[in-house]
Amino acid sequence: MSVFLSFTLICAISLFFFSVSCAVETNISTSQSVSDGRTLVSKEGTFELGFFSPGSSNNRYLGIWYGNINVKTVVWVANRCNPINDSSGLLRINNATGSLELLYQNKSVVWATNSSKQAQEPILELLDSGNLVLKDAQNTSSTTSESFLWQSFDHPSDTFLPGMKLGWDLRTGLQRSLSAWKNFEDPCPGDLSYGFEVESNALPEIYILQGTEKHYRAGPWNGLRFSGVPEMSNNQFYDFYYVYNVDEVYFRYKVKMSLLSRFVLNQTTRNRQQLVWMNQSQNWRVFTFAPENDCDKYNLCGANGNCNMISNKPVCQCLVGYRPKSEEKWQRMDWSEGCVRNSPPNCENGNGNEFVRFDGLKLPETTNSWVNTSMNLKECKAKCLRNCSCMAYSNSDIRGQGSGCIIWFGDLFDIRQIPENEQDLYIRNPASNTKKGIDNRRVKILVVVASIGVVLGTLFVYCICRRTFFKARETYLDKEETEHLELPLFDFATISSATDDFSTENKLGEGGFG
C-alpha cells in the first residue's frame, strides 16, 4: 500500500512540474518570466509569444506567431540580429527599470526595451491584435497606445497587422516601418524596407526602398486611397485610415470580416504582399502585391514620362508637349533620361499657357510640391499660373466634387497610367504647343474622315456600276430568251388546209422511220 501511495505521489509531483513547464500565461509580472519552452498566449488564443528556430536553423529567437492555425507564421521578432544559440533564453521585466529584458544564460542581455514611461506595477500582456504591450497593472482598463509603457506595434518587423500604425510620430521622431527578413532562416533585416518618407517640402509618401534606392512608390493619399494603388478602391475586406497632422502621419487598416490577413515585405520576391489565410486549404494565399509590373517600378520612364501598360503603344511615352531627351536611347527602350519640353512655358503672359488634362494617372512624386487643403481647383490653377516653376496641379482630395490643391514644381517623376479615372492631373503647356497638339489631332481626324469618305465613295460607285451591269445583262438575257423560245402560232383553217383536211396520207410518225 505504501509503495502504491509513493508511486502515486511521485506521479502527481511529476505531472505538476510537467504542467508548470508547459503552462501558458496571458500576462506576466515582475516576479514571472517566459523561458524557452514556455509561451505567452493572447486571451482568445489568436497569437502566441515564445522562442522559435526559423527553417532549419538552430538559433533561437523570441517572437510572436499565430496561435490558432497549423502553419507556424511568425509576425514579430525581438532579437532579430542577436540570436541565442541554445535554450537558455529568458524574457523578464526588470524590477529596477521596469523595462523588458531578454537574457542569455541568465546573465547577458541580448535585447531590451527602452521607454521613458514608468509604472509602479508593470505587467506584460499579449493582445489578440498581436501587439505585445508593457503596461501598468493599476491601469489595465485602458487599451489605448498612449497608456502603454511600450508596445511591439511601435517596432514592427516584416509584417503589417490590422490595427498597427505604419508611419511617423512627428513629436518623438519614432518611425514605424517594415524591414524584410534576410532570408527564410535569418530574421535580421535585409536591404528592403517599406514605410513613409517625410520631407519638409513634400507630402508623406509610402516607398519600398532597396537600401537607399527607391524601388516602388504608392503615390500620395487622395482621400480614398493611395493614388497608385487602384485596388484599394471599393474594397470589400478592409477599411483604410490615413492621418496626417502636426503630431503624426500614419496609415492603418481594419479587417471588415472574420479572417486572418497580413501584409508582408518579402526580400526574396522584392515586393510587398497581402496575404489571407484560407481555412479550407489551410494555407496563406497572396491576394495583391507591389510592385506588380514594370510600370510599378519607380520612375521607369524617367522625368516627364508616362508608363502605360494598358494600351498597345510602347510602355513609355512622353507627356504632351514633351519629347525624349535622347531619341537614340529612347529607341533602344532606355528611358532613364526621360523627356524634356518642346519649348519653355511662356511666363511673361499668363494667357500664353494652357493646361492639358490627364485622367487616370498616378500622381507625380511630391518631392517638390506645395499643398493647401482649403483651396478649390480654380484657385489651384490660378496659384500655379502665377508661378513659372509650377508645372502641374490637381485636387489633393477627390472625395465628393474634389477639394484641396497640390501644385508641382520642375520635372514630374514616376507617373503611370492606371485603369481607374478617379483623379485628374493638369499639366502646364505653352498655348502654342497645346494648339499645335490640337491642330495635329484635328489633321489626323480629317485624314481619317477623308480616307473613310474615299473608301465609302469607291464602294458606292462600285455598287452602282455592278448593279447597272447586272441589270443590263438581265435585260439582254430576257430578250434572247424571248427570241429563241417563242413559237409561231397558226389558226385552225391554215393547219386544216395544209394537211388536206387532216388526211391520213399526211399523218406523221408512222412507218419504220418514224
Paired sense of beta strands 305-307 and 415-417, if any: parallel
Asked if the model's pLDDT at residue 12 lies above 60, the reply is: no
pLDDT tens-digit profile of 240-257?
Answer: 999 999 999 999 999 988
Supply angle C-alpha 26, 30, 34, rounded to 5. 50
Distance CA 445, CA 430 (A): 23
Element (H or E) spanning 439, and its range?
helix 431-485
Question: Per-residue pLDDT tens for 282-314?
Answer: 999 999 999 999 999 999 999 999 999 887 788
The per-residue DSSP string of 331-376 comes to: HTT--TT-EEESS----S-GGGEEEEEEESEEPPP-TTEEEETT--
CB 362 within 8 A of CB 418: yes
Q: Residue 92: beta bridge partners?
A: 33, 101
User: What are the pLDDT digits (tens) for 452-494?
Assistant: 665 676 676 666 766 665 565 555 445 544 444 444 444 555 5
Tell me how far apart the alpha carbons of residues 33 and 476 are, in angstroms, rounded to a whole number.
113
Query: Amino acid identity, residue 272?
Result: R
Global confidence as pTM: 0.79
The grid coordinates of residue 135 equal 503596461
φ and ψ at residue 332, rounded to 5 degrees: -90, 10
Query: Residue 351's pLDDT band (boundaries 50, 70, 90)?
Result: low
Q: What is the overall mean pLDDT for the chain? A: 84
Determine the residue type at 385.
L
Residues near 452 by beta carbon (within 8 Å), at least 6 away in sequence: none
In this prediction, residue 199 has a pLDDT band, given cuts at 50, 70 and 90, of confident
What mean pLDDT is predicted for residues 107-117?
A: 90
> Which residues lie below 8 Å from residue 465, measured CB to CB, with a gap of 6+?
none
How would you list the strands of the sheet with 353-359, edge to edge? 353-359, 424-430, 390-394, 405-409, 369-372
> Rounded distance, CA 68 to CA 414, Å?
42
- Domains of the chain plus CATH, in order, are 28-151 (2.90.10.10), 348-507 (3.50.4.10)
Q: In whole angstroms, what is the distance from residue 361 CA to residue 395 CA? A: 13
Pairing of strands 90-93, 74-77: unpaired
Number of H helices, E strands in the chain: 5, 36
Identity of the residue numbered 177: S
pLDDT at 421: 75
Residue with cell 508547459: 22
What is the predicted pLDDT for the residue at 455?
Answer: 61
Q: Which residues of 137-174 are buried (b: 16+ CB within 10 A; e: fewer)?
A: eeeeeeeeeebbbbbbbbbbbbbbbbebbbbbbbeeee
Q: If pLDDT is split at 50, 70 and 90, which confidence band does 15 have?
A: very low
At residue 5, the pLDDT reads 41
Q: In sequence order, which residues have a C-beta less than 8 Å from that of residue 205 and are 6 or more positions away?
A: 196, 197, 217, 218, 219, 220, 365, 366
For residues 352, 201, 156 and 263, what is the CA-based torsion angle, rounded to 10 degrees? 0
